[in-house]
Amino acid sequence: MIAHRPTPDASAAPVPSPPATPDVLVIGGGPAGSTVSTLLARRGWRVTQLEKARHPRFHIGESLLPMNMPILQRLGAFEKIAAIGVHKRGADFPKDDGHGGYNTFAFDRAYDMKFPHAFQVRRQDFDRVLFEHAREHGVDAREGVKVERVDFDADGKPVVYARPTDAPPGTGEQVLRPRYLIDASGRDTVLGNKFKLKHKNARHQSAAVFSHFRGVARRQGEDVGNISIYRHDHGWMWLIPLPDGVMSVGAVCYPDYMKTRKGDTEGFLMRTLALEPDVAERMQGAERVGEVHVTGNYAYECSRMSGRNWVLVGDAYAFVDPMFSSGVYLGMHGAERTAAMVDAALREPARERELQRALQRHLDAGINEFKWFIYRFTSPTMRYMFANPRNYFQIEQAVIGMLAGDVFDTPAIRRRLRMFRFFYAMTALGMLPRALRNWWRRRRQPREKFQGDTLQAGNP
C-alpha cells in the first residue's frame, strides 16, 4: 500500500525537501473530519488532517442523535463522549394546551429502535476529543494550520497550500500532494467555493442567534436532558441542556424578521425568546455565561459532492436547518461512508466515479428525509400533528425513528414516513379553510407585522 522510496545518496548535493505526500489529506478538524481520518488511518492509509483553529474552539450543534452512538462505538470513542455529555432521552415539543404542556418523543419508542438515547455535548469538548482520538490512531492531525489554496496538477492530483495561522506573513508555507483530498471544512466550504458549487437553500433561508445561559429551568425526571423545540411567529427556538447547569438557547429566524434587528444583539435575542411564553418562563432569572453569536445564510448545499480525487463530507457538502439536531450525525454518518468510498477508490481507481455516485445517492436520500420535515415544521398542519401525535400504523414510532436519525438503512421507517406525508396532506386539506381565513384577516390588517407572518399563515 505504501511505496518504499530509495534511500538518498548522502554524498549528493542538498536539494529542497519534496512536498509532503500523504495518501489522504483531510481539511477540517470537526466531527466529520476526525471520523473519516480515524477510519482511513485504521485501514492503513497515511492521513494528514489540518484544522485552522486550535482546540478547544466554540462551535454550535450541541445535540447528538441516537444514531451517532453506534458510530462512536465503532470509532472506540463512546466512553470518552459519555464522560463529557448529558444523557438525552428524547426531544420534546409543546402541546397546544396553553398550560406549558409538552409531548416527549422518547427515543426508546422508535420503530426498530437501535439505540435508546443520545448525548448533549459542548462542541468544543466533543470536537477536541474526536480530534485527539484521530491522532491516537495514527493520523497526522495538525492544529493551527489553515488551507489557503487548492490546485490540481495535470494528472488531476490535488496540490494543497497551507500555512500555520501564527506564521509571519510570507513564511511557513506547506505544500502537500495527497493522492486523495477530503474537504471536511464545514461552513468554510473550501472546495465548494473553489468550484463555485455552493448555493443558498432557496426553500429555507434563515439565520440563528444564540448563546449559553445558566439558571434556565430544565425538564423534570427522565426528561431532564431533553432538547426542547418551540415555534415562534418568525421561526423556531431550541433549549439544549449542557453539562454544569448550562443551557444552550437560540432562535432560528426568517430573513424578514432578522432585518428588524436594532440595538445590541443580546437585546434582540432576549426579545425574540420572549415571543414564546413558555421559553420566557423557563428563562426567568437566567444568567448569560457565553457570547451572543449570530450565524447567517444558515441553510446551503453544493451542487455536487465529488470529483476526480476529491470529495466533500459533512457541512462542506450541505448544511440543513438543525431543527432536528441532524448536523453532527449527518456529518459522521457521511464520514463513515466516505471512508469506505475513498478506501475503495484508492485501491481501484477505475471505480471512483461509480463509488462517488452511489455515495451521493445514499446521503442525499437521508438528507431529503430531514428536509421534508424541516420545510414544513412551522406550518399550522405540522404544529397540530406534533402537538397531537397518533401512532396509527406505527407512524409515530417511525417519526421518532427519523428524530433519532434512522433515515438511511431502515426501509420500513421510510415507508411509514411516506404514510405520514399522506396524512399530512389530508390534515392540511382539512385545515385549509381556517388557514385561508387567517390569511385574509392578516392581509387586511395594517402591515405592522412581517410578510413572513402572512406567508406562514397561508402555507399549511
175-206: pLDDT as tens digits: 999 999 999 999 999 999 999 999 988 777 78
How far apart, in whole angstroms, are the C-alpha atoms of residue 201 and residue 317?
12
- Give the per-residue pLDDT at 443: 57
DSSP 151-217: EE-TTS-EEEEEEETTSPTT---EEE--SEEEE--GGG-HHHHHTT-EEE-TT---EEEEEEEESPP
Q: Could you give the angle at which helices 352-376 and 380-387 cross, rounded to 10 degrees? A: 90
Mean pLDDT computed over 387-409:
95
Cβ-proximal residues to 409 (8 Å cutoff; 6+ apart), any chain = none
Residue 304: which pLDDT band, with cuts at 50, 70 and 90? very high
Q: In angstroms, what CA-CA distances link 335 with 35, 43, 119, 457? A: 6, 14, 19, 39
Which grid cell sits at 189? 466550504
- Give the per-residue pLDDT at 455: 35
Instruction: Check whether 410 has a pLDDT greater than 70.
Output: yes
Domain 207-295 architecture: 2-Layer Sandwich (3.30)
Domain ranges of the chain: 24-85+121-201+299-370, 207-295, 380-457
How far apart, in whole angstroms, are the C-alpha atoms of residue 49 and residue 308?
20
Mean pLDDT computed over 314-334:
94
Confidence (pTM): 0.89
Q: What percent of the chain has pLDDT over 90?
A: 78
Residue 9: which pLDDT band, with cuts at 50, 70 and 90? very low
Name the residue with cell 466554540.
58
Mean pLDDT computed over 287-292:
96
- Give the per-residue pLDDT at 17: 41
94-119: pLDDT as tens digits: 997 777 799 999 999 999 999 999 99
Average pLDDT over the chain reads: 90
Neighbours of 264 (CB within 10 A): 10
Instruction: Check whether 452 has a pLDDT greater than 70.
Output: no
How far apart, in whole angstroms, are the C-alpha atoms of residue 235 and residue 306?
33
What CATH number is given for 24-85+121-201+299-370 in this structure?
3.50.50.60
Beta bridge partners of 104: 92
